[in-house]
Amino acid sequence: MRVVEGEILDVAVDVRRSSPSFGGWEAVRLSGGNKRMLWIPAGFAHGFRVSDETAHVLYKATDYYAPEHERTLAWNDSELKIDWELEGEPIVSAKDQRGVALRNAETFE
C-alpha cells in the first residue's frame, strides 16, 4: 500500500487462527508526504480510513482480483477494538456496513 496524495490510516488484522497474534492489529499512517509503504502478507485482513478530504492510494496484489473471494470484517468489531482515530461519525461504504465480527468470519489456519 502506498499513498501518493492525501493521507490514510491503514490497518492490518491477523486472521490466522494458528498465529499467536490472531486478532491483533497494526495501524500505520501513510501519506504522500511521508512516502511510507505497507506490505500486508497473506492471512491478514486489511482496511483503511481516509484522513484527508481525498486520498490517492496505490497498491499491488499477489493475484488477480476475484470479488467472489472477498470477505469483509466489521470495521467496528468491539472485540478487535481498532482505534480508527475518528472525529465524529464516519462515512462507511455499503460493503463495509455488511462486515462480520472476527469470531464469525472466515479465517485462515
How confident is residue 108, by pLDDT bands cut at 50, 70 and 90?
confident
Domain region containing 25: 2-104
Tell me the three cell numbers of residue 82: 481498532
69 Cβ contact list (under 8 Å, min separation 6): none
Q: What is the CATH number of the domain that holds 36?
A: 2.60.120.10
Q: What is the pLDDT of residues 26-71, one digit of tens each?
A: 999 999 999 999 999 999 999 999 999 999 999 999 999 999 989 9
Q: Give me the number of domains the chain comprises.
A: 1
Q: How far is CA 104 from CA 63, 84, 89, 100, in A?
A: 25, 21, 25, 6
Would you call 104 helix, strand, or coil by DSSP? helix
For residue 48, tell me if it sits in a domain.
Answer: yes
pLDDT at 109 over 90: no
For residue 109, tell me if it sits in a domain.
Answer: no
What's this model's pTM, rounded to 2 decimal places?
A: 0.92
For residue 31, tell me if it sits in a domain.
Answer: yes
pLDDT at 7 over 90: yes
Average pLDDT value for the chain: 95
- What backbone phi and psi angles, to 5 degrees, belong to 29? -85, 125
